[in-house]
Amino acid sequence: MLLSDLVTHKKDFLSSDVSLFDAIERMGKEGISHIVLIENNVAVGVLTLRDIIGLYRNGIEGEKKAIDYATYPTISIHDDRPVEMAVELMIDYEIRRLVLIDENGKYLCTLTQSDVLTYYESEVHTAQEVFQCLNRRNCAITVDHDASVYDAISLMQHKNRDVLIVLNQTLPVGIVTEQDVLELAYRQVDSRESIARYMHSPIITVELNEKIHHAIEIMKERDIHHLMVWGRDKELYLLSEKDMLLNYSTALEMKLESKLRDSKATYNLLGLAFCEIIDIGEDQIIKWLNAEAMMTFQIKIDDSVSKMFPAGVWNGLMVTLRMHGGVDKEKIEIADRVYEVTLIEAEVNNQAIMKLFLNDISELIYLGEELRKSLEHTIELEKEKSKLYLDVASVICLALNQEGIVELINPKGCEVLGVNQEEVIGKNWFDTFVVYEQVGQVKELFYEIMNGERELVEYFENRIWTKKGDERIIAWHSALIKDSEGKNIGTFSSGDDITRLQESEREIERMAHYDMLTNLPNRLLLNARLKHSIERCNRENTKLAAIYIDIDNFKDINESYGYTVGDAVIMEVAFKMEEIIRREDTIARIGGDEFIIVLESLQDLRECDRILKEVVRIFEESIHTKDNDFLLSASMGITIYPDDGEDAQTLLKNADIALRRAKEAGRSNYCYFAQEMSVQLFERVLMERELRRAVDEKEFVVYYQPQVDLLSGRVIGAEALVRWKHPSLGIVRPDMFIPLAESNQLIIPIGEQVLAQSCSTTKRLIDEGLFSGRISVNVSGKQFERPDVVETLSRIIDESGLEHKYVELEITESVLMSNPKVLGQKLIELKALGIEVAIDDFGTGYSSLSYLKTFPIDKLKIDQSFIRGLESDEQDRAIVKAIIAMADALGLKTIAEGIEEVPQSVLLKEYGCQQGQGYLYARPLSEDKFVDFLKYNEVSKS
């Protein structure tokens, strides 16, 4: 049913220029509760009974213009809309009337609740009973029958009610409605008069269980708008037309109503424009809209939705809705703003409606734009920053794509290669710059990264070609680059040009391992080679001979002819001996006139004999120098591996014993070592038993050797050195038992005892304020072979209560290099615990400094063998200088051990060595003596 069916032509409208009085007169005459003011047939305002009552109470004159007191805007609705829409509007907006207009917007009539009720009466079945209509709101407001008209009007306004019940004592005696008040106004009754005079009496009452349709019949019959009901609780209720209306419209029961309101309240809060739309075929009109929509788009209920949009847009939205069942967040520009438009179909009260949401995202777009700009700016800045980083980086930065094509190289990279960027970018790195022999190897590594087998290569050295044709050695650190989707797209590498470093390293190594005079391996290198040869013998199951050669009475030449001549003789001897050995053999000079020849892979001892005879022959001939010829002789002692000793040290020691025998037997002789020559084995068995007992009895004590700052002389630490306090032998030095302890694992409990003792002593000294440095504790390679070494060490330290930062562990270079991977990991773990690490006896092993760099090391301890010769030996000086300079470059501290003389400390200071340790400052001291030393030191300082 459409609203047009309900149009009645009442005389409820007046021209907008009428006076208040005219309006009141018309209301009274026609018995209506409103007047619609019309201008050119269009409703421009409504004046209700209630408005008039308010004005009357305030004593307003009737000559005033009605339009000035009318309410705006009027909710108007076209007459071709369904009746349900009007009902919902009345409920939603809590209004009693709606203005009906024709298709031209001309005023047709005003629909009141009763008009709609009439419709429902006929349409809807009316089986419900009165009590179903009652709720709190229907509780009657009462006024005493003595009250004045003025009081009654005040009460109506205050309580926002249009009906009052007049009570006499507790009995309802009459009813007063707004309509009555209007009459009083019309008649200009004095408001001070008693209300009882003007009330309707008696009151019509219905029962709680009266059928509603019956109640409506009564109202119609009696032409009244209210009925009174006695509640179960003996309270008074008034039933109005609206209550009936609500109840009749089953689709709009209270529950639904509140639900509807709830959702609508939500829409009002949403901050987005929202409309409910009904489709009336040729047009879609707004059935409900929230405040936001109303204000933003200047539209109102019953308008055509298309009004909101630029021409044609709405039709487009409808097409999308029809085709896709909805419009989802389509961006639409309306009056310079951008909205996200959502349109869906829904059903409310069995009625198909559309819901339209318009979300103003202009702000968002603006913000997004701003954000994008600021992001771009940040990225630009970041880019500049990273470019700056790349520009100033002292390492090569190189990015390759997945094919190995150079995508980026920094200035340092160009500098090393001797090219400009354009000459590199776009070139295949491997084919252009990597030295031919290494291309395969480097590519292999690259593809391992690209294939995701490893994301990082922490250290890798390879040689590259510069434009000039030089080779440079670069130590790389390479990482995989992925794009935002996680795809592998290339690598980024930083490369350190370590050519110089390696050159100096090689130089140091050469100096450390070769004799400067003869260029033959020195004792260090000999030891290493011997170890190596022993391993090879084991693999090949062959033998090895070590020949210890000493020139007889060589001292005399030095004394009579001077060192230069002595040196010339040595050089000549060395030269001749080099000629007689095979390529795989080694000849080393291990002292002034002492040489050792190592013959490897001997199948047959006759080969050894042949060499021995050749050596003898060399000395049978005279040795020529520039000015002199010398007739010399040499003595030799020979040991055979594995017969005469299991390790290099033993072999050399036994060769020495054999040499002495040879000398005893008259010089110019050679002698094979024989087991009887040594009581060593026997000693060893005895000693081992003793050592076990010593571990059980805890016979080990710790001596402390102070370490000083070379510049200030301040004590900055101490090295813990173990001593064996043997019950009958007295103090035994570590050299005597540590090698044995290492071979039978006893070093592990010994090392732990030393650590525990030295930590608790240090803790005590720190607590007493005597000491504030670090304690350096030697840790054997055997200890590091234990998987739980880090936990064990840190547990022992923790048990002493000493803070980790006061502990430094010393590990020798050769131990570190024996298993750099595992040891490196352990050092990282120690470092993480705050424990420092120093490399002991540095210079005697074979570590590459650039490789050392990859370990978390704090300090290098330059081996005392180099310090000893510091003054006299140019070679030692050169080595020490180089070590210090390079440690400095790598950010490592240096300490020199074995400083005995002042000139040594002066030189060390000059070379930049920071710390020192040695007899010059103090010998290793027993705990008591160490305390005395610290106390004295304290006193002498102050």
Residue 110 touches Mg ion, criterion: CB under 5 A: no
Q: Which is nearer to ligand C2E, 182 or 870 (CB)?
A: 870
| For Mg ion, the closer CB: 630 or 737 | 737
Q: Toward ligand C2E, which CB reaches closer, 502 or 844?
A: 844
Determine if 113 is a binding residue for ligand C2E (CB under 6 A).
no
Please tell me the distance from the alpha carbon of residue 300 to that of residue 849, in angstroms, as a whole number: 85
From candidates 644, 656, 808, 840, binder to Mg ion by CB under 5 A: 840
Nearest to ligand C2E of 845, 898 (CB atom)? 898
CB atoms within 10 A of CB 68: 9
HSE-CB for 864 with a 13 A CA cutoff: 10
- In whole angstroms, the minimum distance from the beta carbon of 705 to ligand C2E comes to 6
Closest CA to 477 of 822, 889, 850: 850
> Binds 722, which of ligand C2E, Mg ion, none (CB < 5 to 8 A, cut-off by type)?
ligand C2E
Using the minimum distance from each CB to Mg ion, give the nearer residue, 180 or 840: 840
Q: Is 808 in the site for Mg ion (CB under 5 A)?
A: no
Contact 70, 46 (CB under 8 A): yes
For residue 268, what are its two tokens? 């009002």
Give the Cα separation of 928 and 933 in Å (integer).
9
Whole-number minimum distance, CB 735 to ligand C2E, in Å?
5
- For residue 840, the minimal CB distance to ligand C2E (Å) is 5
What is the rounded CA–CA span in Å between residue 686 and residue 676? 17
Q: Which region, judged by CB under 6 A, interacts with ligand C2E, from 180-188, 212-220, 237-245, 733-741?
A: 733-741
Nearest to 85 by CA among 337, 234, 286, 254: 286
Q: How many residues bind Mg ion (CB under 5 A)?
A: 5
733 touching ligand C2E, by CB under 6 A: yes
User: Which H or E element spans position 838?
Assistant: strand 836-842
Site map 881..920 versus Mg ion, x via CB under 5 A: ----------------x-----------------------
Q: Given its phi and psi angles, is residue 878 left (phi above 0), alpha (psi -120 to 50 degrees) or beta?
A: alpha
Q: What is the torsion angle, in degrees rounded to the nearest 10, for the CA atoms of residue 47, residue 50, residue 52 and residue 57?
A: -160
Q: Count other Cβ atoms within 10 Å, centred on residue 159.
A: 10
Per-residue mark of binding to Mg ion, 238-277 (x: CB under 5 A): ----------------------------------------
If binding is defined by CB under 6 A, does position 497 make contact with ligand C2E? no
99 exposure class (CB count in 10 Å sphere: 0-12, 13-18, 19+): buried
SS3 409: strand
| Whole-number Å distance between alpha carbons of 462 and 495 | 10
Peptide bond into 202 cis (omega under 30): yes
Name the residue number minimizing CB distance to ligand C2E. 918
Residue 105 has φ and ψ, to the nearest 5°, of 85, 10
If phi > 0 it is left, if psi is from -120 to 50 it is alpha, else beta; for residue 387 that is: alpha
Name the segment binding Mg ion (CB under 5 A); options: 138-146, 281-289, 704-712, 840-848: 840-848
Minimum Å distance from CB 685 to ligand C2E?
22
Shorter beta-carbon distance to Mg ion: residue 490 or 734: 734
Nearer to ligand C2E, 347 or 735 (CB): 735
Is 566 an interacting residue with respect to ligand C2E (CB under 6 A)? no
> Which residue in the set 62, 413, 751, 843 belongs to the binding site for ligand C2E (CB under 6 A)?
751
Q: Is 431 exposed, middle or buried (0-12, 13-18, 19+ CB in 10 A)?
A: exposed
Q: Yes or no: say if 397 and 405 are a contact pair by the CB < 8 Å rule.
A: no
The residues that bridge with 227 in the sheet, in sequence order, are: 239
Helix (H, G, I), strand (E, B) or coil at 230: strand
CB of 553 to ligand C2E, least distance (A): 29
Q: Which does 23 bind (CB under 5 to 8 A by kind): ligand C2E, Mg ion, none?
A: none
- Map residue 559 onto helix, strand or coil: helix
**What does the block give as tokens for 158?**
């205050």
Q: Is residue 645 close enough to count as binding ligand C2E by CB under 6 A?
A: no
Binding flag, residue 644, Mg ion (CB under 5 A): no
Nearest residue to 825 via CA among 794, 858, 852, 856: 856
Window of 328-336, 407-415, 693-701, 835-843 that interacts with Mg ion by CB under 5 A: 835-843
Number of CB atoms found within 10 A of residue 357's CB = 19
Residues 886-915 within binding reach of ligand C2E (CB under 6 A): 897-900
Exposed, middle or buried: residue 384 (CB in 10 Å: 0-12, 13-18, 19+)? exposed
Q: Which stretch in 64-72, 224-232, 409-417, 806-814 sits in contact with Mg ion by CB under 5 A? A: 806-814
Encoded one letter per residue, x for contact with ligand C2E by CB under 6 A and - for no contact, window 856-875 reads --------x-----------
Q: Which is nearer to ligand C2E, 634 or 722 (CB)?
A: 722
Cβ 805 to Mg ion shortest distance, Å? 19
DSSP letters for 678-695: --HHHHHHHHHHHHHHHH
Region of 210-218, 482-490, 511-519, 834-842 interacting with Mg ion (CB under 5 A): 834-842
Residue 649 touches ligand C2E, criterion: CB under 6 A = no
Sketch the per residue contact string, 231 through 260, with ligand C2E: x for CB under 6 A, - otherwise: ------------------------------
CA-based R_g, the chain, Å: 55
198 vs 737, beta carbon nearer ligand C2E: 737
Contact flag: residue 45 with ligand C2E (CB under 6 A): no
Q: Of these, 77, 245, 634, 747, which contacts ligand C2E (CB under 6 A)?
A: 747
Residue 253, SS3? Answer: coil
Q: Which of 669, 778, 905, 917 binds Mg ion (CB under 5 A)?
A: 778
Return the one option of ligand C2E, Mg ion, none that residue 12 interacts with (CB less than 5 to 8 A, by type).
none
Are the beta carbons of 813 and 820 closer than 8 angstroms?
Answer: no
Q: Does 110 bind ligand C2E (CB under 6 A)?
A: no
Outline where DSSP puts E strands in 483-624: 488-497, 543-551, 586-591, 594-602, 623-624
CA distance 440 to 264: 74
For ligand C2E, which is the closer residue by CB, 323 or 902? 902
**Residue among 481, 463, 507 at smallest CA distance from 885:** 507
Binding mask 273-302 for Mg ion (x = CB under 5 A): ------------------------------
Distance of CA 605 to the CA centre of its chain: 68
Touching ligand C2E, residues 690-709 (CB under 6 A): 705
Give the total residue count for the chain.
942
Q: Which does 582 bind (CB under 5 to 8 A by kind): Mg ion, ligand C2E, none?
A: none
CB under 5 to 8 A by kind: which of ligand C2E, Mg ion, none does 924 bind?
Answer: ligand C2E
Q: Is the Cβ of residue 37 or residue 721 nearer to ligand C2E in the bound state?
A: 721
**Edge-to-edge strands, sheet with 42-48:** 13-15, 34-39, 42-48
Please enumerate in sequence order all residues whose Cβ is within 8 A of that of 627, keeping only pairs 6 or more positions apart, or say none. Answer: 565
Between residue 773 and residue 832, which ones bind ligand C2E under the rule CB under 6 A? 778, 780, 810
DSSP output for 600-613? EEES-HHHHHHHHH
In the list 301, 464, 721, 925, the residue contacting ligand C2E (rule: CB under 6 A) is 721
Rounded to a whole number of angstroms, the minimum distance from the CB of residue 519 to Mg ion is: 27
- CA–chain centroid gap for 570, Å, is 66
- Of 734, 843, 845, 916, the residue at the interface with ligand C2E (CB under 6 A) is 734
User: Cα angle at 657 between 633 and 540, to 5 degrees?
Assistant: 95
Kindly list the residues in this chain that would bind ligand C2E in the complex (CB under 6 A). Answer: 705, 721-722, 733-735, 738, 747, 751, 754, 778, 780, 810, 840-841, 864, 897-900, 917-919, 924
Q: Which residues bind Mg ion (CB under 5 A)?
A: 778, 810, 840-841, 897
